[in-house]
Amino acid sequence: MQRYIASRVLYGIVTLTALTLVVFILGRLSGDPRNVLLPIDAGPEVFAAAGKAYGLDRPLPVQYLLFLKNLLYGNLGNSIAMGRPVLDIVVARIPATLQLASASFAIALVIGVPIGILAAVRRGGRLDWFGRTFAVLGQSVPVFWLGIVLSLVLGVRLHLLPTSGYGEIKHFILPAFCMGWFTTAALMRLVRSGMVDALESEYIKMAKIKGVPPMQITLIHGLKNGALPAVTMAGWQFATLLGGSLVTETVFAWPGIGLLAWNALRWRDFPLLQGVVLFIGIGFVVLDLAVDILYAYLDPRIRYG
Amino acid sequence: MEQTVLEVKDLRTYFFTRRGIVKAVDGVSFKIRRGEAFGIVGESGCGKSMTGLSILKLVPEPAGRIVGGQILFEGEDLAAKSEEDMRLLRGKKISMILQDPLSSLNPALSIGFQVSETLKVHQAVARKDVRQQAISMLKKLNIPAAEARMDNYPHQMSGGMRQRVVGAIALSCQPSLLIADEPTTCLDVTTQAQYLQLLDGARRNLKASLIFITHDFGIVAQMCDQVAVMYAGRMVEKADVFEIFNNPRHPYTIGLEKCVPKLETRTEHLFSILGEPPVPTALPAGCSFAPRCREAMEICSKEFPPQTEVKPGHEVCCWLCK
Amino acid sequence: MIKRQRPPYAAIAIVALMAFLAVFGFLIAPHPANVGSLSHRLMPPSLSSGYLFGTDWLGRDILSRLIVGARVSFTVAVLSIVVGGALGTVLGIISGYYGRWIDKVIMSLTNLTMALPLLIIAMVLAVVRGPSYWNVIIVISLLLWSRYARQVRGEILSLKEKEYVAAAKVAGASTSWIMARHMFPNVVNTLIVLATLQTGWTIIVESSLSFLGAGVPPPDPSWGTMVSEGRSMIDNAWWISVVPGAAILLVVLSMNILGDYIRDRLDPRLRNI
């Protein structure tokens, strides 16, 4: 198992490096990177000094290494619009996004997984039909629109829930529900199909032969195997959630890195946006790794393989 | 006094499919005494596995159903019992071993868990003794380093060892009846003999009866006291093991017996029964074996032969024996 | 679920309508999509006023903008799938057929692509190059290609072993001939299923990007942009945002239902997508 984890960590590092390369190239796409990295009103001395700092007189690979070195030291430049170091700005916003993502994921787990299990056990029944309809709807609704409609109906017209703001539980409800919508549907589908496959296997027949009570069969014998496909995808789902935070935070003015990215886009603040990309990339990689480890733990064939 | 552990009367299990009705088990009757080993032999698809599953009332639904007959286990008719009552019997009084130990063991659960589970579910032993009892079951099936094995997973064991674990699970609650459905098919030949010996010894110790389902006529000779031959859902011959081998009367049984190669005879060709088993949804009228039978008579394709007792304890369904 | 299902007529109708509008829409739009009539600003939807879905703050007819927007979303979706699908298919075939190191390289590329936060990279592209159609198409293609590559590679791996490939080799066929004439036709089914299943998702991604401002450049009315534009007026002119979003929902839902149906008919093995 150690080897497995080591290889996954290595893979994560490679991915991150590739991401930095992509970001680097993006910065150089329009020619002189100073055009995007410096404020419009930067004077000629600032311009020249930046040229030296980015190593613009050196060959491109060296520039890349300089860039990497800066990254590793936490130097992500200064935000054009806010004038402060990007690192500080971004890090300050991460908790809000993580909280929202966790709340959404929790909702998805609590709703999606049980419905998925029940739909698999009562295949073809009414709950299954309901679940499948919900799943299709879940993957067809544009989240930003859902957020706007819910805000309109529950917030503006009925005054039931706040449409923006941060700090109390009631502020979480609408955004978390919207953000988790897609994931709930996806998890429900995955759990259902994983369970259906598991429930058709020989060891389930064996459990029946042993006289194990039906609930125990479903939850212990079935779920331990049936949940595996969902777990593999869970990491990817959480990553999609992070991506979805872009839209949800924008709709609900949630002070996380998603909203930050949107503002950065509007202000054409490349350094800030660059910082957000890198942090989201790190988030993806860390999540993937966590899921790989979880999967290895759950599947004894890998743990003791 | 020898009691009857199981008496099956005219059991019928049918499958209702889009292509027609499959009469998987079509009027099967037999009796098993305490401690007796009863073998059911036949080709794939003859209904022998489904007979075993029917006794446990685990026929795959919704297509399959027991449509008739009685299954008298220790006096009570299982056909009339509720699902919950059956669940309490399964694993405790009647248990079953399936063919492929790799797929019958849950890959995500430890051996210890799977062996202890039956004990816990049926509360056969006090909670604190469950682990010890599980270990001693593994030892009875000659699994070395049993204590360490409890924390192993199925993929860490060899095929033979897995099948022994399955055997340990089946016998852990000391059932009165053990049904073994082709337990050695997935084992290599050398492991087979060892395994059969172990299994037989263990079950004899418990004075449990055995239904041994197989397509291998040779194994049946070793293990069983009584033998029944099945073809296309029906039992065509039934007798004690010596009778069946020395004096087979049904042409199918004779054919099967000839298929087993013997050391003493020299042959150049291995014998095989000509033809193929019939398509389950299109069974011929009369005796199902008639199309393949060398001695078929006109009446054979018209009416199914009634059961005839050619000798005490030896029954055949064949017009030749009428 | 293996029962013969009826074709989803409603879904087919909606998709056909959208395709029709995408191509011929500009001919039947009642009002110009990009020019507003200032005396008719912020009118609510009504059947009698001639503005079926109302107008926006510039007096532009929402229905007409919706129709022209159909073309925008549709074009982007189709192009993205074609580019991403072609890229994925070609790389998948190469990867599966040649194996060894080139296979490893291509498969690592798919993993890498899937690990990148492409939505936000799209935003970066929008800052660097300004919003453009090609930004969106490139990003979405990158999001899509790995799926195709993996699926196609899997198919090729199993096709490779088939006898007719060996027979063709013995007959002296060149590699590219074998790939084009023997392997590709077998893979077409999978491609069709994948394409239909992904169209819905592609439309959602495109509209999300447009909503965020990183998608199709104004004044072209992508449905996503329309939703975004109407946000500030949600209190008194809800239709500006709600109607385009509802259109997205309807079209994506129909595509998904249609996609499921096609998948069940052509290749149920892909059920676990």
What is the nearest CA distance from B67 to chain A, expressed in angstroms?
A: 21
* pLDDT tens sequence across C202-237: 898 899 888 888 888 877 788 888 888 888 888 788
Residues of A near B (CB-CB distance < 8 A)?
Answer: 201-203, 205-214, 216, 220-221, 224-225, 228, 298-301, 304-305
Q: How many domains does chain C have?
A: 1
Q: Does B100 fall in a domain?
A: no
Question: Nearest chain B Cα to A301, which residue?
Answer: B155
* pLDDT tens sequence across B174-192: 899 999 998 888 888 888 8
Confidence (pLDDT) at B228: 92
Rounded to the nearest integer, the mean pLDDT of chain B is 85
Q: How many domains does chain B have?
A: 1
Query: Closest to C121 (Cβ–Cβ): which among A136, A262, A277?
Result: A277
Q: Testing the interface with A: which of B61, B98, B99, B104 to mutate, by most A Cβ within 10 A?
A: B104
Q: Does A44 fall in a domain?
A: no
Q: Does A71 fall in a domain?
A: no
CATH number assigned to the domain comprising residue A193: 1.10.3720.10
CATH number assigned to the domain comprising residue B45: 3.40.50.300
Of A202, A222, A8, residue with least CA distance to A119:
A222
Q: Would you call C129 and A193 a contact, using CB atoms and an 8 Å cutoff?
A: no
Of A294, A197, A195, A200, residue with least CA distance to A238:
A294
Q: Does C6 fall in a domain?
A: no
Residues of chain A with confidence (pLDDT) below 50: none
Question: Nearest chain A Cα to C257, which residue?
Answer: A136
Cis peptide before A61 (omega within 30 of 0): no
* pLDDT tens sequence across B199-246: 888 888 888 899 999 988 888 888 899 999 998 888 889 999 888 888
Q: Which two tokens stand for residue A84?
A: 């402060």
The neighbouring-strand residues paired with B26 are B12
Chain C residues inside the 8 Å CB shell of A251? 231
Query: Closest to A247 (Cβ–Cβ): which among C121, C208, C246?
Result: C208
Question: Nearest chain A Cα to C270, which residue?
Answer: A193
In order, the DSSP letters of chain C are --SPPPP-HHHHHHHHHHHHHHHHHHHH-SS-SS---GGGTTPPP-SSSS-TT-B-TT--BHHHHHHHHHHHHHHHHHHHHHHHHHHHHHHHHHHHHH-HHHHHHHHHHHHHHHHS-HHHHHHHHHHHH-S-HHHHHHHHHHHHHHHHHHHHHHHHHHHHTSHHHHHHHHTT--HHHIIIIIIHHHHHHHHHHHHHHHHHHHHHHHHHHHHHTSSSPTTS--HHHHHHHTGGGTTT-THHHHHHHHHHHHHHHHHHHHHHHHHHHH-GGGGG-
The neighbouring-strand residues paired with B39 are B212, B227
Looking at the complex, does the CB of residue C5 fall below 8 Å from at least one CB of chain A?
no
CB-based contact B98:B104 (threshold 8 Å):
yes
Of A111, A107, A119, residue with least CA distance to A226:
A119
Looking at the complex, does the CB of residue C107 fall below 8 Å from at least one CB of chain A?
no
What is the nearest CA distance from A233 to chain C, expressed in angstroms?
A: 11
Looking at the complex, does the CB of residue C125 fall below 8 Å from at least one CB of chain A?
yes
Q: Would you call A206 and B104 a contact, using CB atoms and an 8 Å cutoff?
A: yes
Q: Does B130 fall in a domain?
A: no
Q: Would you call A145 and C116 a contact, using CB atoms and an 8 Å cutoff?
A: no
Chain B residues inside the 8 Å CB shell of A216? 121
Looking at the complex, does the CB of residue C119 fall below 8 Å from at least one CB of chain A?
yes
Chain B residues inside the 8 Å CB shell of A221? 106, 109
Looking at the complex, does the CB of residue A245 fall below 8 Å from at least one CB of chain C?
no
Confidence (pLDDT) at C2: 43
Q: Would you call A224 and B104 a contact, using CB atoms and an 8 Å cutoff?
A: no
Q: Testing the interface with B: which of A209, A228, A297, A299 to mutate, by most B Cβ within 10 A?
A: A209
What is the nearest CA distance from A34 to chain C, expressed in angstroms?
A: 11
Q: Testing the interface with A: which of C128, C251, C258 to mutate, by most A Cβ within 10 A?
A: C128
Q: Would you call C120 and A148 a contact, using CB atoms and an 8 Å cutoff?
A: no
Residue B287 DSSP label: -
Q: Does A178 fall in a domain?
A: yes
Q: Does C88 fall in a domain?
A: yes
Question: Nearest chain A Cα to B88, which residue?
Answer: A211
Residue B18 CB-density burial (10 A; 0-12 exposed, 13-18 middle, 19+ buried): exposed
* pLDDT tens sequence across B264-303: 767 677 777 777 777 777 777 788 887 888 777 888 888 8
Q: Does C57 fall in a domain?
A: no
Chain A residues inside the 8 Å CB shell of C124? 23, 26, 270, 273-274, 277
Q: Count of A–B CB contacts within 8 Å?
A: 79
The neighbouring-strand residues paired with B71 are B8
Distance CA B172, CA B119 (A): 7
Sheet holding B308-311, edge to edge: B94-97, B177-181, B209-214, B37-41, B226-231, B234-240, B314-316, B308-311
Distance CA C201, CA C198 (A): 5
* pLDDT tens sequence across B149-177: 888 888 888 888 888 899 889 888 889 99
Query: Closest to C127 (Cβ–Cβ): which among A145, A270, A281?
Result: A270
Q: Would you call C256 and A140 a contact, using CB atoms and an 8 Å cutoff?
A: yes
Question: Nearest chain C Cα to A37, which residue?
Answer: C128
Query: Domain range holding C132?
Result: 71-268
Asked casually if ipTM beats, i.e. exceeds, 0.90, the reply is no
Q: Does A253 fall in a domain?
A: yes
Q: What is the pTM of this model?
A: 0.77
Q: Does B67 fall in a domain?
A: yes
Q: Does A129 fall in a domain?
A: yes
Q: Would you call C120 and A243 a contact, using CB atoms and an 8 Å cutoff?
A: yes
What is the nearest CA distance from A61 to chain C, expressed in angstroms?
A: 21
Q: Does C63 fall in a domain?
A: no
Q: Does B312 fall in a domain?
A: yes
Q: Would you call A273 and C213 a contact, using CB atoms and an 8 Å cutoff?
A: no
Please report, rounded to a whole number, the percentage of residues in chain C having pLDDT higher than 70: 86
Q: How many domains does chain A have?
A: 1
Q: Would you call A145 and C253 a contact, using CB atoms and an 8 Å cutoff?
A: no
Chain A residues inside the 8 Å CB shell of C260? 136
CATH number assigned to the domain comprising residue C118: 1.10.3720.10
Confidence (pLDDT) at B212: 93
Provide mean pLDDT across the span B59-86.
87
Distance CA B9, CA C174 (A): 68
Question: Nearest chain A Cα to B172, which residue?
Answer: A210
Question: Nearest chain A Cα to B100, which residue?
Answer: A202
What is the nearest CA distance from A141 to chain C, expressed in angstroms?
A: 5
What is the nearest CA distance from A210 to chain B, expressed in angstroms?
A: 4
The neighbouring-strand residues paired with B8 are B30, B71
CB-based contact B215:B182 (threshold 8 Å):
yes
Question: Nearest chain C Cα to A276, which residue?
Answer: C120
Q: Would you call A140 and C127 a contact, using CB atoms and an 8 Å cutoff?
A: no
Band of residue B96 on the pLDDT scale cut at 50, 70, 90: very high
Query: Domain range holding B220?
Result: 4-93+173-321
- Biggest CA–CA distance in chain A, Å, is 83
Q: Do chains B and C touch (3 or more CB pairs under 8 A)?
A: no
Chain A residues inside the 8 Å CB shell of C123? 246, 261-262, 264-265, 273
In order, the DSSP letters of B94-129 are EEEE-S-HHHHS-TTS-HHHHHHHHHHHTT-S-GGG
